[in-house]
Structure 1
Amino acid sequence: MAQPDRSLGVPPSANSRSLLTEKTAEIDKLNIIHVAGTKGKGSTCAFIESFLRAFGERTGFPRKTGLYTSPHLIYPEERIRINFQPIARDLFAKYFFEVWDTLSGNNSSLQTLPRYLQLMALVSFHAFIKEGVEAAIYETHHGGEYDATNVIEHPVATVITPLGMDHVKQLGPTIENIAWHKAGIFKRGSCALSSPQEASAAEVLQSRASEKYISVQFIADDLSLPADALQLKPDVQRMNCSVALATVRRFLEEKAPKDAAPLSSSDILQGIEQFSWPGRFQLVVEGAFNWFLDGAHNEMSVSKAAEWFIETSQAQSCRIPFVRILIFSQFSEQRDAAIVLERLATTLSTIQIHYVIFTLYDPEQNFESATAMVATPDDASQKAFGLIWKRYHQNSRILYEPNIRKALDSARKIGTTAGGMQTLITGSQHLVGGALFPLNNHVPDLEPT
């Protein structure tokens, strides 16, 4: 196979590497599990953390888990979690400015400051070291070989989740290119695990692992997992959980105290029961209003989001009055939003979607301005979305809203008239993050109707 173009992606800067060189021993004490992939990275990381936390609560190791993920949905401190809780805002500020002052101070030899994602990764290392984390899980941003998190030199384990076509401008136009980049997290002396992959991608992973004198283990569905756990639905979550569980077992073989009992069935059940991952297959219930949120943003992931919505909404529909609504938005230079919407429309074609609401957001801003109007409702891209949708769902009524709050308000009005509703919100993590804040803070209207 021809080698991919090494210019694709952005390597960790020399500044980041030089700053971390003297901290290598302290970073090694974090006992890091490094996770890359196209889909399921966040969920797999969260399952790993949950299993380790359950084991630690019983045995005393690890006393503290660290979890670094991106992007955040609402607040930046969500990216850095200790025992799954986002780091307190005052601690986040403290550690951020300690890193910033070191980098920008008069005694610093750095000629350029790290970019945003590099800086966030540095802050996470600093916070986890200061807080005494004993097991840390790191999600790559979107690559592997040249990802800002790939300054980790001695991970205990590396994990590749399902691969697909995404971020092709940075990672290359083929699945083999993408696999090459993702496998860049493999390290000599560290175990490597992967979800099942298509043959060409698996071959690249195996080749890259052999370059580091290791082998990659492909994990199958774990048949011992509980059959009916809601946390393991849809099936993609069962696969993510299986990979996470295999990773934790390998991790504990390496790092658990020698006198500690192995991971128990009660640890596994507790890890599954306490698992959550905001914005991924998340259901928010407001009486007869059911909000289905999934930050899916590529063809591969919106299909899974749609399948989950179909299965769950059909199970509910026999119990509550309902109207089905889709809220969709996507603006990206990394992928073709029209193709993503076509895949979503195709997968949802087996059920009736009564209303579709296309909305706008500002992907460059935080959640507060992400709900602000950035274009008129007759924006050309929005109208193009409507034309695409009508090709697959001629009977849907299409609405255009200028911002996320108005889209939610429209869904509530429709649901009130119908006596209940099921609304799928998908297409972008920015959309889901912008929706979660008002949903989490919504106060129902208590005035008589």
Structure 2
Amino acid sequence: MATRTYREAVDHLNSLQSNAATLEAVRASGGRLSQFAIPEMTSDLNKLNVIHITGTKGKGSTSAFTDSIIRRTRPDWKTGLYTSPHLVAVRERIRVNGAPISEEVFTKYFFEVWDKLKDNAKVAPNLRTLYPTANLGKQTVNPQTPLMPGYFRFVTLLAFHTFLELQVDATILEVGVGGRYDSTNIVPKPIVTGITALGLDHTAILGKTLQDIAWQKGGIFKASEFVVIPPVAGLSELKLGLAGKHQYQNATLAVHLAKKFIAVQTSESVDVDLPPSFVEGLKSTKWPGRCQTVSDPAHAGTTWFLDGAHTLESLQCCMQWYVSPDAALRTSPQFENRSRVLIFNCTNGRSGNTFLGAMLKGAADQLKAHDAADTDTATLFDQVVFCANVTYADGGFKGDLTTLAIPEADLAHLKTQHELADAWASLVPSFPKENIHVLPSIEHAVNVVRKLRTSVEKDVDVLVAGSLHLVGGVIEVAGLSDIAL
């Protein structure tokens, strides 16, 4: 048999993506169609020694902080980190000792899982036959559920298989969509679980206890102890590896998770508030695409500000970071001597007024806080670009960034992007119409930046926000991978 390649593995994986119609059906069902994810996962995963992390926002950053702390506190351990989504390459989701697994390792374990599932699918009439070692009780396969899992569930299974094969000592596991039926919840007994900031604006959880909320929103609360963590003395004085004021809350949770995990695994309690190894871990944490500043390696004078913020809360945090002396205001009082570009996309253009309005309000608040209130938010950006999450100008995707989730009709007519442009024009009526761009690909958007840099006597700052998929595409097309990832 010919050697199978990473490219083939990614193509096979992409075949498991849900298309736009399927995703819409899941949303319409309130997520109930996902409840059949759990039986697809299998058997004894406790040996992975899991730290399980969920929440409405900040779970990825908290996972990154926790991973960094543990690696520096116990360098003799092999540490696994599973997160989602990826920015440029799917193997970013599965990291060992801080680095994404190689293409060769990904390909090897991918096809071990793929072939096993394909072989089982040929002969298994139900899940009891498919997974004889799993504790399924009376659960049988739903007739509408395919035996091959969907994209995220497959990658989750691949991560478990990889970590088991590589015999990791600790696994930091970030949930996917969250909730009781998230496929990461198959782990029977995590060592410790963490819940980051929760969005409490849903009437479905009003009047419930914190434990109820943790179960409904995270679905990972399995322990007998529930602790609301206190602040960590001295943490606020550190310069964290991740930018943004909101990261101190995530770092606080990470410190408590790491302390608890180490105490359980070694029977040695960490009595110091911030041991030196914890400080080193917090300072050196990296998490690409989240409040990240990248100087363009090939185009002097162009600086990229990358934040995959895609909720109201995260967009507010994004503006706190961007409209500050650490980012857009860093050249103040020469604030006006830079040309600023916004590249933005989101999954639904009808949310444009809400999302873009929140960004503009956040910008105004920050300008006031930094004594730049005389600067009109209408002039904060010189150009705004709304582009589809298609990677290249020819309509093609980088393999790892292929998505079937965009409705074809929407993509053909750039419906979402036109709705965003209309929202911006409505919110900022004085903004020059010729400087609002609706474009079919990320490559088109990057080209706007390149042309602007050559046509003006100014340096160019580019804020990319609204979608991690968009941020990943920009990193790929603009050639930032070597320094951004």
The TM-score range, normalised by the shorter chain, is 0.7 to 0.9
Distance 1:120 1:383, change over 3 A: closer
CA distance in 2, matches of 1:36, 1:263: 24
- Aligned pairs for 1:209-358 (under 5 A) are 214-225=224-235, 227=237, 229=239, 231-256=241-266, 258=268, 265-286=275-296, 287-311=300-324, 312-318=327-333, 321-332=337-348, 336-349=351-364, 350=367, 351=377, 352-358=380-386
| Contact 1:371–1:404 (8 Å) recurs in 2 | no
CA distance in 1, matches of 2:38, 2:440: 43
- Aligned pairs for 1:119-138 (under 5 A) are 119-138=154-173
| 1:185 equivalent in structure 2 | 220
- 1:185 is paired with a residue whose SS is coil
1:383 and 2:433 are equivalent in the alignment? no
| Contact 1:357–1:407 (8 Å) recurs in 2 | yes
| 1:438 equivalent in structure 2 | 477
| Contact 2:390–2:442 (8 Å) recurs in 1 | no
| 1:446 equivalent in structure 2 | none
Unaligned runs of 5+ in 2: 1-28, 131-140, 142-146, 368-376
1:30 and 2:48 are equivalent in the alignment? yes
Deviations 1:83-122 (A, max 9, x none): 1100111111111111122222156533722222221111
- 2:219 is paired with a residue whose SS is helix
Tell which has more relative contact order, 1 or 2 (C-alpha 8 A, sep 6+).
Answer: 2
1:13 and 2:37 are equivalent in the alignment? yes
Distance 1:232 1:437, change over 3 A: closer
1:257 positional shift:
5.7
1:294 positional shift:
0.6
| Contact 2:214–2:221 (8 Å) recurs in 1 | no
1:66 positional shift:
0.3
- 2:74 is paired with a residue whose SS is helix
Deviations 1:312-342 (A, max 9, x none): 2112344784122111111249x93442222
**Number of residue equivalences:** 399
The one-letter code matched in structure 1 to 2:355 is: V
CA RMSD of aligned residues (A): 3.3
Distance 1:14 1:401, change over 3 A: closer
1:426 and 2:465 are equivalent in the alignment? yes
| Contact 1:346–1:392 (8 Å) recurs in 2 | no
1:354 positional shift:
1.9
The one-letter code matched in structure 2 to 1:404 is: I
The one-letter code matched in structure 1 to 2:111 is: F
Distance 1:261 1:235, change over 3 A: closer
Distance 1:246 1:258, change over 3 A: closer
1:14 positional shift:
5.7
CA distance in 2, matches of 1:263, 1:128: 31
1:44 and 2:62 are equivalent in the alignment? yes
CA distance in 1, matches of 2:412, 2:402: 14
CA distance in 2, matches of 1:348, 1:258: 46
| Contact 2:88–2:400 (8 Å) recurs in 1 | no
- 1:323 is paired with a residue whose SS is strand
Given candidates 84, 89, 92, the residue that maps to 1:70 is 84
| Contact 1:99–1:123 (8 Å) recurs in 2 | yes
Distance 1:178 1:75, change over 3 A: farther
Unaligned runs of 5+ in 1: 189-213, 444-449
CA distance in 2, matches of 1:260, 1:310: 38
| 1:161 equivalent in structure 2 | 196
CA distance in 2, matches of 1:44, 1:318: 35
| 1:87 equivalent in structure 2 | 101
1:405 and 2:433 are equivalent in the alignment? no
Distance 1:381 1:292, change over 3 A: same
CA distance in 2, matches of 1:156, 1:371: 35
Distance 1:147 1:9, change over 3 A: farther
| Contact 1:64–1:134 (8 Å) recurs in 2 | yes
1:160 positional shift:
0.8
CA distance in 1, matches of 2:356, 2:191: 39
Distance 1:121 1:380, change over 3 A: closer
Distance 1:7 1:415, change over 3 A: closer
Deviations 1:275-306 (A, max 9, x none): 10011111111232111111111111111111
| Contact 2:348–2:416 (8 Å) recurs in 1 | no
CA distance in 1, matches of 2:200, 2:351: 11
| Contact 1:9–1:147 (8 Å) recurs in 2 | no
- Aligned pairs for 1:367-382 (under 5 A) are 367=398, 379-382=414-417
The one-letter code matched in structure 2 to 1:330 is: C
